[in-house]
Amino acid sequence: MPTSGPSGEREREILTAVVETFIATGEPVGSRTLARSNREGLSPATIRNVMADLADAGYLEQPHTSAGRVPTPEGYRYYVEQITGNARLSHQDENIIHGSLSGISDVQEFMERTSHVLSLISRNVGVAVAIGGSKNALEHVYFSRLGDQKVLAVVVTRSGLVRDRVLRLDLPQADLDLAARYINENFRGWTMEDMRAEINRRLEQERSEYDRLMQSIEQLCKQGALTTDQSAQVVFVEGAANLVTGEQDRQRLQEMLKTLEEKEKIIQLLGAYLDAKQEAVRVVIGLDQALPSMRNFVLIGAPARVGNEVRGSLAVIGPTRIDYQHAITAVSYIARLFDKILNETE
């Protein structure tokens, strides 16, 4: 298994050339093809020997005895290490991104458009996940008695997320209406985190003044009526059709496309490979540890932050023969733009 990369400059250049040629053409790369574009004027025989060494080292493989070489996962990983930090976003991609994302102040709308623009630029699958976290401002709450010891609590945020849960409580509808009116009149527009902190403070200071009302609110809070569920995530996926280019692809990708249709699996996939603490774009080649059907696919992703708070994640998913430079630069740029735009509007 390769550990430190090709040993010499010539090996590194030829490996890079093989990867980029295979990404561009989809065909195994032969020594004659590389010789025609080699700047040093190396002969096909010399290049063939170097490619054989790279294959022995685990960076290239030969799919058929008479064919050229293709990169292995290790070959792709080495290539990604070389371009990460050096790749630059093209002016065309920058214009596409700004044309799609400028003027947005809502997290969900930003993420929905992000999945589209990533799909457009990468020509693969664009994925964006918005976390319904603590920064969602309250629009209103509603409590309804369902029967003996059951209450339906509905929380609507200004970003449009609706959360409902059934609580085990035995409160009359009149008390529930009073509690909802108090919360809506006092806390509309507050972030969920700030609202809970203020309610806890008032429970301590105002118990005597609003005894019955505050008892009802306390019971509702203890049962989680106003808890924001960090797992309440909205998933946007666009571009799955980009992966289907022929009959063989259709058969091979059928299981993978089913995976993309199940949003819980998308959340699982991004959660497995994207760390909220990471600062840069992460490239993962071979996703089978999280989902066996994704063995031959790549994830290029990053967390989306506002300040220090993670508000979601964004990624490109595609086959190993993906345009890494386009995808890496687009993901990195949009992640930074997310922080800039949402910081200015909150």
| Average pLDDT rounded to a whole number, residues 122-143 | 80
Residues 117 and 193 in one domain: no
| Average pLDDT rounded to a whole number, residues 24-33 | 89
Residues 154 and 300 in one domain: no
Domain housing 34 = 9-83
Which residue did the predictor score with more confidence, 223 or 285?
A: 285
Residues 120 and 239 in one domain: yes
Alpha carbons 52 and 77: distance in angstroms, whole number: 19
Q: Considering the domain boundaries, does residue 283 fall inside one?
A: yes
pLDDT tens column, 44-86: 899 999 999 999 999 999 887 667 899 999 999 999 998 887 7
Q: How many domains does the chain have?
A: 3
Q: Considering the domain boundaries, does residue 37 fall inside one?
A: yes
With a cut of 80, say whether residue 204 has pLDDT above it.
no
With a cut of 90, say whether residue 222 has pLDDT above it.
no
Residues 203 and 256 in one domain: no
Residue 15 pLDDT class (50, 70, 90 cuts) = very high
Structure tokens that stand for 185 in this block: 């009149």
Structure tokens that stand for 290 in this block: 């999280």
| Average pLDDT rounded to a whole number, residues 142-150 | 84
By CB atoms closer than 10 A (0-12, 13-18, 19+), residue 321 is: middle
Residues 190 and 264 in one domain: no
Residues 24 and 156 in one domain: no
Q: Considering the domain boundaries, does residue 1 fall inside one?
A: no
Q: What is the pTM assigned to this prediction?
A: 0.70
Per DSSP, the three-state class of 1 is coil
| Average pLDDT rounded to a whole number, residues 102-114 | 83
CATH of the domain at 203: 3.30.390
With a cut of 60, say whether residue 230 has pLDDT above it.
no
Which residue did the predictor score with more confidence, 234 or 34?
A: 34
State the Rg of the chain over Cα: 26
pLDDT tens column, 183-203: 999 999 887 778 888 888 888
Final residue before a domain boundary, out of 47, 66, 83: 83
Of the candidate ranges 8-17, 24-33, 261-270, the one whose mean pLDDT is the lowest: 261-270
| Average pLDDT rounded to a whole number, residues 272-281 | 80
User: What rounded mean pLDDT belongs to the chain?
Assistant: 82
Q: Long-range contacts: 11-14, Cβ < 8 Å, 24+?
A: 11/50, 11/53, 11/54, 12/82, 14/47, 14/50, 14/51, 14/54
pLDDT for residue 344 = 66
Strands of the 309-319 sheet, one edge to the other: 233-238, 125-131, 309-319, 297-306, 282-285
Residues 174 and 200 in one domain: yes
Final residue before a domain boundary, out of 189, 222, 255: 222
With a cut of 70, say whether residue 323 has pLDDT above it.
yes
pLDDT for residue 299 = 93
Per DSSP, the three-state class of 290 is coil
Residues 237 and 337 in one domain: yes
